[in-house]
Amino acid sequence: MNPPKVNEYDYINFLIATQKAYSGTEAERVQPESANPPAHDAITRLLHRMEPSAEALWLEAHKHVSLKTGILVVDDSTLDKFYAKKMELVTRHWSGKHGRVVQGINLITLLWTEGDRHIPLDYRFYEKSVDGATKNEHFRSMLKTARERSFTPAGVVFDSWYSSLENLKLIRSYSWIWLTRLKRNRHINPDNKGNRPVCDVDISAAGTVVHLKGYGFIKVFKIVTPNGDIDYWATNDLRLGELQRLQCAEFAWAIEEYHRGLKQCCGAERAQVRSSRAQRNHVGLAIRAFLRLELHWFSTGISWFDAKLSIVREAIRAYLTTPRYSLNPTA
């Protein structure tokens, strides 16, 4: 059997370098000159040959995180696949970007940050019809894995979707602090006179200690946004102040920046393959490509976008020196 012509690192480097087209055909066109360069079939076979796993990401990421500091952030994002009619892994999901249900791939990520670095540690794909796992089960699975890896974070931050009692009690069993948003209809007991929706209770912006139905005492903050919307943030740390809550919430915004970089700079949405295995491998390698761009940004101050543009600037400079396309003289 002939050895493979391309490996995972070749594909990661292609994802970092390419600017728009993320197909096997484009990868074939940009291969370095050699006597026997890989064809697009070799790239496609790579995506179908690899065993999809988040373990490879952890092996690369663990050297760049602190197990005892920073916070863990969990959130999901929909990778748009509007025109995918016969593509595995694609189902209907809510998209915050579009404000509606769209067709795509739902990716759930566990991210570590201390404010400066945004390091993805683990990820799952939501495909309940195949593995039977819900988003909340994926959430708990990633946190269990983080605990097995000896993480003791300063806190775990996540959206209201993941604020079920089972999730909150799991984090409490690890002796970790959690911070999340609550839905308006979540029942609390502020004065020992019975449970009622949090939106019907007088909550302070500085935090009010209440009893969460089925859980125990928590601290809730009422945040009024500039456009008049109201958010309810909650934590099991009864001593948490508003400034600390705000800092954790700002740190948590890192995962939104991660989603943006993953899609815009690493082509996570743009794999032109149909099978679930190939899609999973493409996205997994795109996350590892993001890790490289993020660490480069942290060490040099050069953003993901500038790092990608710097790759093609030499080619543009060479073209401007000797343009290929010009009008023939008519006289």
CATH number at residue 69: 3.90.350.10
Report if residue 163 sits inside a domain: yes
Termini Cα distance of the chain = 61
Report the candidate in 132, 131, 125 with the shortest Cα–Cα distance to residue 104.
125
Report if residue 300 sits inside a domain: no
Report if residue 259 sits inside a domain: yes
Report if residue 207 sits inside a domain: yes
Its domain, for residue 79, covers 55-266
Buried b (16+ CB within 10 A) or exposed e, 218-227: bbbbbbeeee
Is 267 exposed, middle or buried (CB count within 10 Å of its CB: 0-12, 13-18, 19+)?
buried
pLDDT digits (tens, 9 = 90+) for 82-98: 877 788 888 887 777 77
Report if residue 326 sits inside a domain: no
Instruction: Please report the pLDDT score of residue 329 as a whole number.
Output: 65
Instruction: Please report the pLDDT score of residue 90 as a whole number.
Output: 86
Distance CA(188)–CA(197), nearest Å, equals 6
Instruction: Please report the pLDDT score of residue 92 as a whole number.
Output: 82
pLDDT digits (tens, 9 = 90+) for 299-321: 999 999 999 999 999 899 999 99
The whole model's pTM is what?
0.93
Report if residue 44 sits inside a domain: no
Instruction: Please report the pLDDT score of residue 149 as a whole number.
Output: 97
Report the candidate in 20, 137, 135 with the shortest Cα–Cα distance to residue 78.
135
Ranges under pLDDT 70 in the chain? 1-2, 329-331
Instruction: Please report the pLDDT score of residue 88 as a whole number.
Output: 87
Instruction: Please report the pLDDT score of residue 1 as a whole number.
Output: 56
Number of domains in the chain: 1
Report if residue 315 sits inside a domain: no
**Under 8 Å between Cβ of 265 and 257:** no
Instruction: Please report the pLDDT score of residue 13 as a whole number.
Output: 95
Report if residue 65 sits inside a domain: yes
Instruction: Please report the pLDDT score of residue 202 as a whole number.
Output: 93
